[in-house]
Structure 1
């Protein structure tokens, strides 16, 4: 966070949570595979500095976590309303950014998104009309919760940097609740020296719908002084990530020194005036001279094959991966060696459906996040584009279950049940809801064209 942002917020009476930001930055360093000075930088017993090789398993953990909440389809109501929301999401590159945010949620615990108008027309009465509705995606270190009630962030600030004519500019946006629980948006811009550009300051009156959304890790945040932030899953996993890197460096070191060495006795060599051996071109290709005597004096020529401690290293890796799996929140087998291969979380879920509970909780959080974004988009359209979209319309999210189940097999089973039990028409409704990712009332409406009655369908 820029110092000018912190100073501005402090001046307005808000405290910036430095402890939370310290934890978030530490986790982000592991996610980004940055060099951790107090761990990766080392010295040999002779005082020679070196660096540990970084395996970057933190990124792998977050990526596998994100796979389980991938979204296939978003339906925000019906007809023109659904099409409009979809178009706004597409113009804001939602699918790509959401995938990135899923990974950053696992890494840093929190991501956010807020809605803004671009290129809007300011009328004579200072009201705003038109403009392009766009989504701004924010990472944890640029998100500042200002007011938190019952663990829900009701007021927040967001910061970001841009380049204007080669010089950095920092933008700070605050969403504050005013009278009658209506939101106000304040925008402040700072130059590269940290001074506010007052002519770019704007204050806009919004409405009762929250113009931002926050997605956090579903797991309860047990860390002190992190109100408004989610639990960074990497924070508890950092000790295990260190063990994984250490195990990998043991393997790397063994392999790095594993080349066969063929030793030649000094009796086979001639020496120059300085006592250095004189080797023929053939000897230089085949032999390495090691001193006056060979180990155990076995002969004039001897092979030395360094040992690669595969079995011991494999056991150490198994322990390290089990520790990482537990600390990351998916039991002891999120990652494990099996028949010489690493078995990942996506394969593991097929065997241990109890771990799906964690997935279900996170999908619920992701669903609420996307729904909040869609409702805010519709409110902005109603307010500034004079539309009349239904903010209470059901918003359905279709997640990609291919990582944890065979969706085609599931649909075939539902279809077979619907055909086998025609006296239970609700089975057909459920099948249509699952296949086409539509709400129940829409599925019932489509069934009006079938021979089955739908007026008396009961759940």
Structure 2
């Protein structure tokens, strides 16, 4: 969060939660594969500085988590209402941004989104007309919960920086509730020096529908002084991530030093004017041949092949990955060496359905987040675009289960059901899934089959 935003909020009487923001920053550093100064920067026993290689497993963990909550379809109602909401989501690249937010929610614990009006007309009486409805996506370090009731964020502040004519500008938006129970959107803009541009300030009266949504990690946040924020999953995983990086560096070091070394006696060498040994062309040839042909002459020529500690390093990796798996809530096999390969979260959850509990909790959180966004979009459409959408309409969210289900097993089950129960509709559904047919195409095939069977039965009766 920018210093100008912190100063402004503190002057207005709000407390900026630096404790929460500092934890979020630490987790974001691991997610972004940044150098951790007090860990990756090291010195040898001789005082020579070096830097640990980084495996970036933090990003991998968050990416695998995000795979399990991918959305296939959002249905906000029927007809014009569904099409309108879908158009707003598409116009704000929701699918792409939602995927990014899933990863950042796993890493930092919290992401958010608020609704804004672009190019709206401000009337003299303070009302607003027209404008294009857009979604503004916010990460945890730019989000500040102002009022939290029953663990639900009621009022919040959002900030973000962008370039305007080559200069940095920071925007702060506060959503607070007025005395009448309706939301007020207050926008402030700061220049590259942190000074508020007063003529850019706007205050817009909204309604009782929350104009923002917050998505948090569904795991209970057990960290102190983080009201309104979700638990950053990487926070508990940092010790395991360090062990993974250390294991990788041991492997890297063994491989880096694994090239065969051939030692020869100084009796085979000549020396230059500085007393350093050198090999003539003929001696180089002799060295090549005798190194292979006469290995028993250890007094003159000897090979040294450094050991690569594959077995020991593999065991260390196994322990490190198990610790990392437990910290992410999927048991001890989210990441595991099996037959020389790493089993990932998606493969493991597909095999162990008892681990679906964590996933289901996170999906419920994602559904609430998407529903809040859709209802806010519909309220803005009703208020500023003259629509009459039903805000009570249930918003349905369909998730992509391809990561956690065995497609072949699912198709086999549907096929067996269709054969066992002899219900044409089940056959239609099976054909649609198995051969990517439309419902009309599948129904036509089933009808043709039924017609053929009827004709055969008629012939048998004759």
* Distance verdict in 2 for CA 1:394–1:284, change over 3 Å: farther
Which position in structure 2 is the counterpart of 1:180? 180
CA contact (8 A) 2:121 2:131 kept: yes
Q: Which residue of 2 aligns with 1:404?
A: 404
Other-structure match for 1:368: 368
What is the TM-score normalised by the length of structure 2? 0.88
Shift of 1:422: 8.0
Contact 1:148-1:227 within 8 A present in 2 as well: yes
SS in 2 for 1:83: helix
Relative to structure 2, which stretch is displaced further, 231-240 or 324-333?
324-333
Give, in whole Å, the separation in 2 of the partners of 1:122 and 1:353: 54
Match of residue 167 from structure 1: 167
1:15 aligns with 2:15: yes
CA distance in 1 between partners of 2:400 and 2:43 (Å): 47
C-alpha distance in structure 1 between counterparts of 2:32 and 2:54, whole Å: 11
Query: Given that residues 183 and 206 in structure 2 are in contact (C-alpha distance below 8 angstroms), is that contact kept between their aligned partners in structure 1?
Result: yes
1:364-384, Cα deviation, whole Å (9 max, x unpaired): 100110011001000000000
> Residues 339 and 407 (structure 1 numbering): CA distance in 2 closer, same or farther, change over 3 Å?
closer
| Cα distance in 1, alignment partners of residues 156 and 420 from structure 2 | 53
Match of 1:453 in 2: none
Contact conserved, 2:176 with 2:185, CA < 8 A, in 1?
yes
1:282-321 alpha-carbon deviations (Å, 9 max, x no partner): 6569969xxxxxxx99321111100000000000000010
Q: Given the two structures, how large is their TM-score scaled by the length of structure 1?
A: 0.88
Q: 1:283 to 1:405 in 2, by over 3 A?
A: farther
Which residue number in structure 1 is paired with residue 57 of structure 2? 57
Partner of 1:237: 237
User: Cα distance 1:112–1:285, how it changes in 2: closer, same or farther (>3 A)?
Assistant: farther
Please tell me whether the aligned partners of residues 401 and 407 of structure 1 are also in contact (alpha carbons under 8 angstroms): no
Q: What aligned pairs does 1:28-427 form with structure 2 within 5 A after superposition?
A: 28-281=28-281, 298-407=298-407, 410=410, 413=413, 417=417
Classify 1:46/1:59 alpha carbon distance in 2 versus 1 (closer, same or farther; 3 Å): same
Q: 2 CA distance for matches of 1:250 and 1:359?
A: 34
Is the 8 Å Cα contact of residues 172 and 187 (structure 2) preserved in structure 1? Answer: yes
38-47 vs 323-332, which moves further: 323-332
Encode CA deviations 1:160-191: one digit per residue, 9 max, x unaligned: 00111111111000000112321000000111
Shift of 1:128: 1.2
Q: Alignment length, in residue pairs?
A: 427
Q: In the aligned structure 2, how far is the partner of 1:407 from the partner of 1:78? A: 30
Q: Secondary structure at the match of 2:241?
A: helix
Q: Is the 8 A contact 1:218 1:361 kept in 2?
A: yes
Looking at structure 2, the residues matched to 422 and 314 of structure 1 have their Cα atoms a distance apart, in angstroms, of 52
**Cα drift, residue 331 of structure 1:** 0.8
Name the CA distance, whole Å, in 2 between partners of 1:243 and 1:106: 20
Identify the residue that residue 447 of structure 1 maps to in structure 2: none
How far apart, CA to CA, are the structure 2 residues paired with 1:300 and 1:260? 17
Query: Do the aligned residues in 2 keep the contact of 1:25 with 1:141 (CA within 8 Å)?
Result: yes
Instruction: Using the TM superposition, give the Cα deviation of residue 85 of structure 1 relative to its aligned residue in structure 2, in angstroms.
Output: 0.5
How far 1:349 sits from its partner (Å)?
A: 1.1
Once the two structures are TM-superposed, the CA of residue 272 in structure 1 deviates from its matched residue by 2.5
Q: Secondary structure at the match of 2:351?
A: coil
**Residues 325 and 417 (structure 1 numbering): CA distance in 2 closer, same or farther, change over 3 Å?**
same
The alpha carbon displacement at 1:281 in A equals 4.0
Over the aligned positions, Cα root-mean-square deviation in angstroms equals 2.6
